[in-house]
Amino acid sequence: MIKVLFVCLGNICRSPMAQFVFKQIVEEKGLANQFEIDSAATEGYNEMCHAGIHHGTREILTAMHVPFEQHYSRRIRPTDYAYYDYILAMDDCNVEDIQAIVGLDTENKIYRLLDFTSNPRNIKDPWYTGNFDETYWDIVEGCDAFLKHLKM
């Protein structure tokens, strides 16, 4: 089983979007039983507030017919590094913050999601941009490329 953790700043916009998009992709390909997929944040404020998925993320997932379930923000823990095979961040700042929490990436598990594409880049945070459509399409591109990278 391949264990994948998507990570962003607050775990209410980008990382849960990636979690549910990737779940849909692997399910459609008949690979769901080969993956464990979750998401987390680099900061703990939303976890303390018991924050759920941002309404903009819920709206775009609904519009694109991506099934999702109740999800509450949680902060990445040092033990997640040992548990997950891949920790996929949304931007460079997330990568730095993840390493500050879990330590150095000695096993080469931490990547930006779009590092697997032909155009590696950060995924902009729709919390600030308001552009959930752009975030969605970047995440789809990254999830497709990541699955191709795994050769599945």
**Which residues are known catalytic residues?**
8, 14, 125
Strand partners, 89: 7, 112
Question: Which runs of consecutive H residues, i.e. helices, occur in the chain?
Answer: 14-28, 45-48, 55-63, 78-83, 92-102, 126-129, 132-149
In this structure, the number of other CB atoms found within 10 A of the CB of residue 141 comes to 18
For β-strands 110-112 and 2-8, DSSP reports them as unpaired
Q: Specify the 3-state DSSP secondary structure of 116.
A: helix
- HSE at residue 143, side-chain half, CA atoms within 13 A, is 25
